[in-house]
Amino acid sequence: MLAQMVLSAICLVAPVDGPVLEEFAPVGSYGGHWGIDYGVPFGSEVGAPASGRVTFAGSVAGMRTVTIEPVPGFKVSVSYLAEIVVETGQTVERGQIVGRSGSPHGVQGVHLSTRIDGRYVDPEHQLGCRETDITRALRLVTPPAPYPRRSAHRHTRRDL
């Protein structure tokens, strides 16, 4: 429960300022798409979606990727980069430039994905820090039940 509360408080920003081209779609007509694709011109600056430690900065199957771990068990990656400007082990701040955009799926842009304990989850749940403050994330946590509002029985003539 505590881990879910901590994870729900992590607030991400979009890595680029561009339109969403493809949303998270693990099933359906575009099934197997485990993140969000943003459209921006080739070579645009790509910012860190979250503050944390860079756990990977390199290439996988010819695709340049930067992965950041804000808290243990939660990883956020930006992929399809044309250039990487950070190194594994480096600490980055949210919004800090980590690379330049490339061409995901043959279209100019960037791919954003998030994983909790190795499982891909929709990044949309953590996005929104530019529009609101951190209290937005707290709405994901179920509030505790209120204390009962009963008044104690008092004798009307006591302590007169």
In a domain, 135, yes or no: no
In a domain, 2, yes or no: no
In a domain, 9, yes or no: no
In a domain, 86, yes or no: yes
Number of domains in the chain: 1
Per the structure, the complete domain to which residue 100 belongs is given by: 14-123
In a domain, 136, yes or no: no
CATH number at residue 111: 2.70.70.10
In a domain, 131, yes or no: no
Looking at residue 122, its pLDDT comes to: 78
pLDDT one-digit tens code per residue, 49-93: 999 999 999 998 888 999 999 999 999 999 999 999 999 999 999
Looking at residue 36, its pLDDT comes to: 85
Looking at residue 16, its pLDDT comes to: 93
Looking at residue 140, its pLDDT comes to: 52
Structure token digits, residue 6:
């901590």
pLDDT one-digit tens code per residue, 125-134: 778 754 444 4
One-character DSSP codes across the chain: -HHHHHHHT--B--SSSS-EEE--BSSSTTTTB-SEEEE--TT-EEE-SS-EEEEEEEEETTEEEEEEEEETTEEEEEEEEEEE---TT-EE-TT-EEEEEB-GGGSSEEEEEEEETTEEE-GGGTB-TTTS-THHHHTTSPPPPPPP-PPPP--TTTT-
pLDDT band at residue 107 under the 50/70/90 scheme: confident
Looking at residue 152, its pLDDT comes to: 57
In a domain, 159, yes or no: no
In a domain, 149, yes or no: no
pLDDT band at residue 151 under the 50/70/90 scheme: low
